[in-house]
Structure formats: C-alpha cells, structure tokens
Structure 1
C-alpha cells in the first residue's frame, strides 16, 4: 500500500502541489498525511501518524526529502524506522526508492548532500550578517514610524478627538502598525 506525507513550513504556503504529485504517483487521497510546520519543529502529528500507519510491504511517498526530515540525523533515523517496519521510502523529485539497494544508497548520499548544502547556506548567511553589522548596518525591515512621524503619531494618539483610523491615515501606516509601535491607547477620564 502507498502512503503519502506532505508538509509546508508556513500557513501561507500551500499543500496542493505536493498533494497533486502524490496523487499522480498513485497515493490514495485518504492515505495522505499532512503537516503545516517548519522542518525544525519536532511536533508534527501528521508525520507521527503516517509512521504509525506504515506496515510491512508499504511504501511511504514524499515529494522531496526536505519535506520529511529536519536534519541528516533525523532523515537517517526516519529511514531506519521505515526500514525496521519492513516498509520503503519513495522520494519523487530525486527518483529514490529505498525498496532497492541502489535506492538506499542514493537516499543516504542525497541526504548528506542536502544537509551539506543547508550548512553552507547558513554559513554564508551568517558571514553576510556579520559583514553588514561591521559596516554599521542593522538587519530587519526599516521602521515605518520614526523621527517626526513617530512624534506626530504619539501626539495624535494621546488626543481622544482623533480616531485610530484618522491617525493611521495621517501618518500613512496601518492600524496594526500604530498599535504595535504605540501600544494600547490611553483611556481618557470622562469629563464632568
């Protein structure tokens, strides 16, 4: 029996392309398990469920290796757990099927290369961030409210005559930005 597993890292990403690929490979939609979680997140109920559902002779199908494991160590652990159940792993984009000796070898080589590539990306990113800090650059998005605009927003914020929408329009930011930058709006005591 074929079982499928699909994962996206954020709520903004969509599972449909992976689901379509799994269905095209012959996985019944009822046997596809999913998660919406980062690869580093160990709390993935869909992965736990698909591993529990695997029986001898079954094949777990994933679109890409990075959808399955958080690291090379985790990938090898999953590969061993799948093999211990007498099941196989098929990775569609890499053409890997651990039901064969060549597939098992390829699985380990591809996994090692994927982890190596991730380590290089992390290393380059850290070096770039260090170099930028040394040049006095600060990371992150530029603040929408700063300087005179922030002073104006604070002044308007403390005046109950102006609505939140009025202030947002005046300083050209969203309501959400106002609340994030200025916090809760001061409550004025009722005049007697």
Structure 2
C-alpha cells in the first residue's frame, strides 16, 4: 500500500482491517509513509493517522454546512439561492398543447421544446390515467 486514506471508510473499519490482517499473521505496510502494523509504533501511527483523517473530514463537512447555510441566508436576503431552475415542468402547458395536435409524437414534442423524451412521458402520464 502507498496511501492510508484509500484503505478504509472509517477509523473503526481501519481497526477491523488491521485486526483481520493480524489474525492471518500478516502486517500492513504503507510504503509511502514507512509505517508497518507489525510493530507497536506502526499500529500507533495507523491509529493516529486514521483519527487525524477522520478529524479533517469532519472539519471539512462542518465548513461545508456553514457555507451552505451562509449562502442560503444571503440568498433569502437577496433572492439568489433558488436551486436549479425548472425546465420541463415549466413547459407542461406547451407539452399538453402539442400532444393534442394530430400526428405529433412524443419525440417530436421533446425535440421542439428542447426537453427530454422522458419528461414528455412524465408530463403526459397523469393525462393518460384520467382517460
């Protein structure tokens, strides 16, 4: 192995992997770091590095949550943060109008309105159920 951060999903998972390896009488060597779990120092280093990686991840997620909350708060004040603009649903009336024309296929409707064929089917589905 050359990197520890790609080995396990969590500190607990890392500990379980090391324990499974030790049960098979083998050790984990992280070549890029010079760490070997066959020694007490190596096991300490793997645990420390795993804990530090978890800490960094939690701090990054906390900063991300703060950034999203700040963006939403600013958006409410300025009207910016509204998410993705609706595309096909906004054209539902046009889809229904074109669908009423004779010989108009769902593919042709999608091409004319620049939306996906699946969106045309989705908009027309409630109409079919009521017929």
The RMSD of aligned alpha carbons is 3.0
After superposition, give the CA deviation of every residue in 1:112-168 in whole Å (9 maximum; x if it has no partner).
1111111012111211222233223244x4332253x33212333455632121111
Q: State which of 66, 85, 93 in structure 2 corresponds to 1:142.
A: 85
TM-score (norm 2): 0.70
Structure 2 counterpart SS, 1:184: helix
Higher helix share: 2
TM-score (norm 1): 0.51
- Please report how far the alpha carbon of residue 92 of structure 1 lies from its aligned counterpart in structure 2 after TM superposition: 5.0
In the aligned structure 2, how far is the partner of 1:145 from the partner of 1:71? Answer: 41
Q: State which of 64, 69, 74 in structure 1 corresponds to 2:13.
A: 74
1:165·1:175 contact (CA, 8 Å) conserved in 2?
yes
Structure 2 counterpart SS, 1:162: coil
The match for 1:100 is: 39
Unaligned runs of 5+ in 1: 1-60, 188-192
The match for 2:123 is: 182
The match for 1:163 is: 105
In the aligned structure 1, how far is the partner of 2:38 from the partner of 2:29? Answer: 8
Distance change (3 Å), C-alpha of 1:152 and 1:119: same
1:157·1:185 contact (CA, 8 Å) conserved in 2?
no
